[in-house]
């Protein structure tokens, strides 16, 4: 399975100079925990950062500043992990684990933003795969070898 098959779209974005309070409101309105930061002057959307709910909280506390006095660039995570849209899911999971992140922007071969993948996208897919494996194990346990067992009197 490829990353793009389960990535979320559309991707909600923020700009570095955007007021942090406005970005936080956008996250609440959209019901998302992250916005991908892009350069508004660029002709295509390429991730330059990511802003998570955790970034907002930790950044505000670290600076002892009011949410309304900060911009997205003040607290965003620069140089976020990006995953290729055609990467295998297992590869994406390994990269996310290595970087210790719960979300990653998904980009095409040119580096253009095409989605975002989160643990919330991955966990149901893995749960379904585990369920299917359990079904296989159960079938094998009651399969042809079970018929060779003597019947209970």
pLDDT at 146: 54
Q: How many CA atoms lie within 13 A of 20 on its CB side?
A: 23
Say if CB 34 and CB 103 are below 8 A apart.
yes
The full set of domain ranges for the chain reads: 3-118
Nearest to 60 by CA among 76, 49, 48: 76
CA atoms within 13 A on the CB side of 17: 3
Among the listed residues 80, 96, 89, the one whose alpha carbon sits nearest the alpha carbon of residue 36: 80
3-state helix, strand, coil in the chain (%, to 5): 45, 20, 30
Tokens encoding 135? 């079904």
* pLDDT on residue 133: 81
Give pLDDT tens digits along the chain (153 positions).
999 999 999 999 999 999 999 999 999 999 999 999 999 999 999 999 999 999 999 988 888 888 889 999 999 999 999 999 999 999 999 999 999 999 999 999 999 999 999 999 999 998 988 888 888 888 777 766 554 555 555
Phi-psi region of 3 (alpha: psi -120 to 50; beta: other; left: phi over 0): alpha
Topology, domain 3-118: CBS-domain (3.10.580)
Closest CA to 54 of 34, 71, 81: 34
């Amino acid at each position: 399975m490829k990353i793009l098959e389960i990535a979320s779209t559309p991707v909600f974005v923020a700009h570095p100079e955007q007021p942090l309070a406005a970005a936080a409101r956008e996250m609440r309105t959209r019901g998302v925990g992250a916005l991908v930061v892009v350069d508004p002057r660029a002709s295509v959307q390429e991730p330059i950062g990511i802003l998570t709910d955790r970034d907002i909280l930790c950044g505000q506390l670290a600076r002892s500043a009011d949410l309304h006095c900060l911009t997205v660039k003040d607290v965003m995570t620069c140089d976020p992990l990006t995953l290729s849209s055609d990467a295998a899911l297992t590869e994406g999971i390994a990269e996310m684990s290595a970087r210790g992140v719960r979300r990653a922007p998904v980009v095409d071969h040119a580096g253009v933003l095409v989605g975002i993948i989160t643990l919330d996208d991955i966990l149901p897919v893995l749960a379904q795969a585990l369920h299917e494996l359990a079904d296989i194990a159960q079938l094998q346990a009651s399969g042809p070898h079970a018929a060779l067992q003597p019947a209970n009197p």
